[in-house]
Amino acid sequence: MEKRKKRLSMKDQYRAMTRLGWETTYQDMDKVFPYDRFEGIKIHNWEAWEDPFRMTMDAYWKFQAEKDKKLYAIIDSFAQNNAQKNLTDASYLSALKLFLTGVSPAEYQAHRGFAHIARHFRGDGPRVACQMQAIDELRHIQTQVHTMSHYNRHFNGFSEFPHWHDRVWYLSVPKSFFDDARTAGPFEFIVAIGFSFEYVLTNLLFVPFMSGAAFNGEMATVSFGFSAQSDEARHMTLGLQAIKFMLEQDPDNVPIVQRWIDKWTWRGYRVLVLVAAMMDYMLPESPQSWKEAWELYFEQNTVGLFNDLAKYGIKVPDCVARIKAEKEHASHQVWMTFYTHGAATAMHTWIPDEKKQKWLSEKYPETFDKYYRPIYDHWKERAEKGERYYSQMLPHLCQVCQVPVLFTETETDEPMKLHQRQTVYKEERYHFCSDHCQHIFEHEPEKYVYAWMPVQQIFQGNCGGPTIPDVLNFYKIEDGKENRDYKGSEDEVAYNMM
CA distance 178 to 199: 16
Percent of the chain with pLDDT over 90: 69
Q: Where are the domains of the chain?
A: 28-497
Confidence of residue 1 (pLDDT cuts 50, 70, 90): low
Residue 44 has pLDDT above 90, yes or no: yes
**pLDDT at residue 2 greater than cutoff 70:** no
**Distance set, CA 475 to CA 356, 461, 483 (Å):** 31, 14, 11
The pLDDT of 187-200, averaged and rounded, is 91
Model confidence band, residue 418 (pLDDT cutoffs 50, 70, 90): confident
Q: Using one digit for the tens of pLDDT, what is the confidence trace for 137-148? A: 999 999 999 988
pLDDT tens column, 239-253: 999 999 999 999 999
Chain mean pLDDT for the chain: 91
R_g of the chain computed on alpha carbons: 24
End-to-end CA distance of the chain: 75
Mean pLDDT of 205-232: 85
CA torsion sign for 375, 376, 379, 384 is negative
Helix axes 124-148, 104-120, angle to 10 degrees: 160
In this structure, what is the dihedral angle of CA atoms 29, 30, 31, 34, given to the nearest 10 degrees? 130
- The model's confidence at residue 413, banded by pLDDT at 50, 70 and 90, is confident
pLDDT tens string 346-387: 999 999 999 999 999 999 999 999 999 999 999 999 999 999
Pairing of strands 428-432, 408-409: unpaired
188: pLDDT strictly greater than 70? yes
> In this predicted model, what pLDDT tens digit does every residue of 253-271 receive, in sequence order?
999 999 999 999 999 999 9
In degrees and rounded to multiples of 5, residue 408 shows phi and psi of: -120, 180
What number does CATH give the domain 28-497?
Answer: 1.10.620.20
CA–CA distance, 191 with 117 (Å, rounded to integer): 12
Bridge partners of 428, per DSSP, are: 425
